Amino acid sequence: MSEKNFLIELGTEELPPKALRTLAEAFAENFAAELNTADLTHQGIEWFAAPRRLALKVQAMAPAQPDKVVEKRGPAVAAAFDADGNPTKAAMGWARGNGITVDQAERLATDKGEWLLYKEAVKGQPAQNLLPELVANALAKLPIPKPMRWGDKETQFIRPVKTLTMLLGDELISGTVLGVTADRVIRGHRFMGEAEFTIDHADQYPAILQERGMVMADYETRKALILADAQKAAAEVGGIADLEDDLLEEVTSLVEWPVVMTASFEEEFLKVPAEALVYTMKGDQKYFPIYDQNGKLLPKFIFVSNIISKDPRQIVEGNEKVVRPRLADAEFFFNTDRKRPLVERLSELDNVLFQKQLGTLRDKTDRITALAGYIAAQIGADVEHAERAGLLSKCDLMTSMVFEFTDTQGVMGMHYARHDGELEDVALALNEQYMPRFAGDSLPSTDVSAAVAMADKLDTLVGIFGIGQAPKGSDPFALRRAALGVLRIIVERGYNLDLVDLIAKAHELLDGKVSNREVETEVLEFMLGRFRAWYQDEGHSVDVIQAVLTRRPTQPADFDKRVKAVSHFRSLDAAESLAAANKRVGNILAKFDGALSDAIDTGLLVEDAEKALAEKVEAKIAALAPIFAEGDYQLALSELATLREAVDAFFDNVMVMADDEKLKVNRLTMLNLLRNEFLKVADISLLQK
């Protein structure tokens, strides 16, 4: 029998759009693993996904498992026969279980002895017999947090299953999966094409579905079509579409036959901040906003219909009618909110709980205000502006706009502050306090914004750790993101700030609200731990990061310079030799329980190699002092790397642990002084080959 393509399509009710790609990719990955376990070879798996179906096409799948020989080891020969050479009960039981007699068994000789052996010829099963179970297993392992039941069935899946098609070439594979019996019937588009039709061969998919069912089953094809048509539609009205990938993915998952259209709204709505309009268009309606060449929002938007209409204008007008009340709401909230300045909403924060043990939002605001001013003083920002921004930082949470459109918090505070006549850096900080909002997001653009952003995050970190709710699996307060945000701001904006000081100040401002006595240590360890993930993502090796972490530098900007310096050092020819030497010195010193001197006694230098090294070490220590003072760790390590030959010669020619105690101590002193120069940067003994 020759290899054939295998098709599996599962027809369902509408699948969750935000999970569609994940489900399809996991299905393909799971099924590939099942085929591998079953020893059914193939030449690749193509996945398909649309709102009402998941499908896989396996290319050139083997028609059956290969025949194979399975070796079954029996008892050791010594235990298989008694003193008279007769088979023991253990040997006879093993042989009987394999359908042979003991004298038919082979022998397996190893360096640990000799065993009875039976080689069973196992004939591979036809793929038809295996596929239903493999499909069921792959579906059972999909990442479905809340499976559901439907009708009177006991089976569970993410949505009710309506149809099941399994074809190996032109052969229908009989079987039942998720309570549905396999058939050749597949469903087309809900409103176009043929509602149902039969498929004769796996190779017809997905073309037959598109031709007869008006469904584009290929996810990437649909996505590419939407992207291209949306870009074209925006260009036709002189604009650029906001085709954010997350929304593009969601829209792709909502339609079976995408038709891109352009609609408009009244220009008067543009008086409302664009962010609020965009939020309702993208978040509520799944529309793509259009901007002009200067980034200004246009009174137009793009949407994707799921049908080809005989009268497209009705579809356009329908969507315009739907979005108009939402935009009108935003306009109403904006105009209403502006009747009261932000600062008048400050007292309302007393009525909103931030966290039971940590107090209200007003309590948090007061702490942010004080901490922002403290940080501003250290980074050269305007303290009064930072404190004013801190005071107003949460007031927009009390506005109608933010209450209705929660994702506009911060940005609406900025707009309302500008309307109130607040200083620009104060207004800007109200929006930028939440930056960076996610990995790779922009940082606060001013020192005032940075001070408020760090204050907000540090208060949350220390407060939540202080009440014993450090994140374990889940992280409801987004503490990992907050910690990384603080680190990124300090490092990337080049602030000379110390985490120990910042954490202590945040702790002090909590004024007895926290009970965890180890909170400062725990928060510091947590934040240092974020460095590991961050720098690994940037391509630095784990041993480099660990070498720096061992020294526990608590100034993030300083930590950053050390990691980059050690990564550079690791690329030098001398790195491996000097790392090994440092490890050797560390081991020797760990076993020495005597006292070392503060300086090398040149009168105790005997061997030429130790004289040469001593001279170079003393000269290097003097030369490195101003370099370390400048924090130029890369140059310092490069200078230390020049000692490689002298260090190698020393270990090759000098007995460190000499019988003469004075010589031994002097040599250990020299090595300790050298090692301490490296330790001013990192413990390079931890670097791997």
Q: Got the DSSP string for 394-423?
A: TGGGGSHHHHHSGGGTTHHHHHHHHHHT--
Query: Taking the alpha carbons of 13, 14, 15, 21 in that order, is the dihedral positive or negative?
Result: positive
Return d(Cα 438, Cα 485) in angstroms, integer: 8
604-616 residue pLDDT tens: 888 888 899 889 9
198-228 residue pLDDT tens: 999 999 999 999 999 999 999 999 999 999 9
Which range (247-251, 281-285, 327-331, 340-344) has the least confidence? 281-285
Average pLDDT over residues 396-401: 94
Between residues 493 and 97, the one the model is more confident about: 493
User: Which of 37, 58, 66 lies closest to 169, judged by CA?
Assistant: 58
**pLDDT score recorded for residue 442:** 92
**pLDDT score recorded for residue 30:** 95
Average pLDDT over residues 108-133: 84
261-314 residue pLDDT tens: 999 999 999 999 999 999 999 988 999 999 999 999 999 999 999 999 999 999
**pLDDT score recorded for residue 243:** 95
**pLDDT score recorded for residue 542:** 92
Question: pLDDT averaged over the chain?
Answer: 91
Please report which residue ranges of 519-643 form alpha helices under DSSP H.
519-537, 542-549, 556-570, 575-591, 608-629, 633-641
The residue to which tokens 């108009």 are assigned? 324
What angle, 0 to 180 degrees and rounded to 10, lies between the N-to-C axes of helices 519-537 and 556-570? 40
Count of other CB atoms within 10 angstroms of residue 660? 12
Per-residue b/e over 470-490, b at no fewer than 16 CB within 10 Å?
A: beeeeeebbbbbbbbbbbbbb
In a 13 Å sphere around the CA of 592, the CA atoms on its Cβ side amount to 21
Percent of the chain residues past pLDDT 70, beyond the cut: 100
588-606 residue pLDDT tens: 888 888 888 888 988 888 8
State the pLDDT confidence band at 349, using cuts at 50, 70 and 90.
Answer: very high
For residue 164 the two structure tokens come to 């099941």
Which range (113-117, 529-533, 637-641, 679-683) has the least confidence? 113-117
- Rounding to the nearest 10 degrees, give the CA dihedral for residues 641, 643, 648, 650: -150
Model confidence at 101: pLDDT above 90? no
The answer to whether 500 and 451 are in contact (CB under 8 A) is no
Between residues 660 and 48, the one the model is more confident about: 48
The reported pTM is 0.78
Percent of the chain residues past pLDDT 90, beyond the cut: 67
